[in-house]
Amino acid sequence: MENLNLFNYNGFPVSFRSKDTEVMLNATQMASAFRKRPGKWLELPSTEQFLSQLEAIRKTDRSQLIQTINGVGTWMHEDVAMEFARWLSPSFAIWCNDRIKELLKFKATAIHPEDLLNPDFIINLATELKKEREEKERITQTAMLQEKELLKAAPKVHYYNNVLQSESLIPTNVIAKDMGMSAVTLNRILHRQKIIYRSGKTWVLYHEYQNKGYTRSKTHTFTDNEGNLKTAVTTYWTERGRAFIQYMVGNGFKKSADKAQSA
Q: Quick: pLDDT tens for 146-174.
A: 767 766 665 655 545 444 455 678 889 88
pLDDT (average), residues 225-239: 77
- Mean pLDDT, the chain, as a whole number? 80
The pLDDT score that the predictor gives to residue 212 is: 85
Domain ranges of the chain: 3-108, 110-165, 172-262
Compute the distance between CA of residue 233 and CA of residue 218 in angstroms, rounded to an integer.
6
pLDDT at 5 over 80: yes
Instruction: Evaluate if pTM is beyond 0.75.
Output: no
pLDDT at 50 over 80: yes
- The residue that leads in pLDDT, 166 or 66, is 66
pLDDT at 138 over 70: yes
Whether 33 and 9 have beta carbons less than 8 Å apart is answered as yes
Among the residue ranges 27-31, 154-158, 190-194, the one predicted with the least confidence is 154-158
